[in-house]
Amino acid sequence: MIKKFKVPDTQEFSDSFIFEISSVFNTDGVLILENLIDCKILNKIKLKMEFDLNDFLSGKKWIGGGLIIGHINSRPPMGDYYIYKEVLANEILHKITSTLLKSKSINLDYSANINLPNSTRQSFHSDDVENIFDLLMISIPLGDVNIENGSTEFIPKTHKLKFNKNHAKTFLSLHADTLNGSAIIWRPSTWHRGSYNPSKSPRIMLNLKHTALNSNTHKKTPPLNFSEKTIDRYKNLKEYVNCASKEPIEEDSVFSKNYFNTGLLGITKEIVYKYKTIFNDRK
């Protein structure tokens, strides 16, 4: 089981709590924080994204990748009504990531990925084959997630290894099963994959990326754009998020390709990948 830590209701951390989190994360490259975010906030975002997804799928639009194997990327709704500091710039989360990074952390990203019903299981992969350690990934599932609706698989203790797809087959993987209100913190170099979603509902997950303030990664990353109303509402948003104001803001979710090229080549790759995966799973 991936190690889980419950955030105290008091939001106060002892030195031993922080020390244990740091120790586990340095060893495993992944951990789960429970009781981090108000479930009512996440449910509100989830309902909006499910509505946008149904509207998108009913339009039968082709985005170049992801739909056939069932894993698509998305930008969450960016309208002021759906932006919450508790998600985007959670102070408790930043306290922990600042400790892990050994420097004040700043968030660079606000995105989402969706695991559709009857999806195909991805291959294990690393999002950081060069093992650059100035970045932390934070995944926030919208609702309870487990093996029955497509929780992400991780191979702990692989974050310091050079990725090898043959070695990945020999290691024990663990599903990141979480309760609503939780967040998964992981190194991008930790080997992982999107799993099969056998349920009838999409599994939606928000994604953040934390790095050290003024690091090279921070300096070369373009800011996130929010409305002036959003930035004015959260006076210290820029303290935690690399962002700027821009008008107008497209408020609905935006869906994009995942892992595959656009057009006929993308469709061909997905079909080959899907049936190759099904064939390998039956061996």
CA pair distance 222, 208, nearest whole angstrom: 14
Cβ neighbours around 180 below 10 Å, total: 18
Give the strand order in the sheet containing 153-154.
Answer: 174-175, 153-154, 192-193
In order, the DSSP letters of 81-111 are GG--HHHHT-HHHHHHHHHHHTS-EEE---E
Assess whether pLDDT exceeds 60 at residue 260: no
Q: Which of 85-94, 200-209, 271-280 has the lowest mean pLDDT?
A: 271-280
- Quickly state the pLDDT bin for 280 (edges 50, 70, 90): low
**Mean pLDDT value of segment 73-86:** 93
User: Amino acid identity, residue 235?
Assistant: K
Q: Hey, what are 263's tokens? A: 């057009």
Q: What mean pLDDT comes out for the span 128-140?
A: 85
Using an 8 Å Cβ cutoff, are 86 and 168 in contact? no
Measured in degrees and rounded to the nearest 5, phi and psi for residue 238 equal: -70, -15
DSSP state of 35: S
- Inform me whether the pLDDT recorded for 141 exceeds 80: yes
pLDDT in tens, 146-199: 999 999 999 999 999 999 989 998 999 999 999 999 999 999 999 999 999 999
The values of phi and psi at residue 120, to 5°, are -100, 140
3-state secondary structure 213-282: CCCHHHHHCCCEEECHHHHHHCCCHHHHECEEECCCCCCCCEEECCCCCCHHHHHHHHHHHHHHHHHHHH
Which structure tokens are listed for 133? 């350690």
Average pLDDT, the chain: 90
33/222 Cα distance (integer angstroms):
28
Q: Is-contact 205 139, C-beta < 8 A? A: yes
Given this model, what pLDDT does residue 65 score? Answer: 65
Identify the three-state secondary structure at position 211. strand
Round to whole Å and give the CA distance between 29 and 155: 9
> What confidence category does residue 111 fall into, taking pLDDT thresholds of 50, 70 and 90?
very high
- pLDDT at position 196: 92
pLDDT at residue 146, as a whole number: 97
Measured CA to CA, the distance from residue 242 to residue 225 in angstroms comes to 9
| Neighbouring-strand partners of residue 57 | none
pLDDT at 215 over 60: yes
**Whether residue 96 has pLDDT greater than 90:** yes
Written as six digits, the tokens of 84 are 């919450």
Does 279 score more than 70 pLDDT?
no
Question: Each residue of 16-65: pLDDT tens digit?
Answer: 898 999 999 999 999 999 999 999 999 999 999 999 999 888 887 766 66
pLDDT value at 281 more than 80: no
What SS3 state is found at 53?
A: helix
In sequence order, what are the residues at sequence separation of 6 or more whose Cβ sits closer than 8 angstroms to the Cβ of residue 273?
A: 69, 120, 260
pLDDT at position 258: 64
Dihedral sign for Cα 37, 35, 184, 73, please: negative
Give the domains, in start order, of the chain with CATH numbers.
Answer: 4-282 (2.60.120.620)
Q: Which pLDDT score is estimated for 259? A: 55
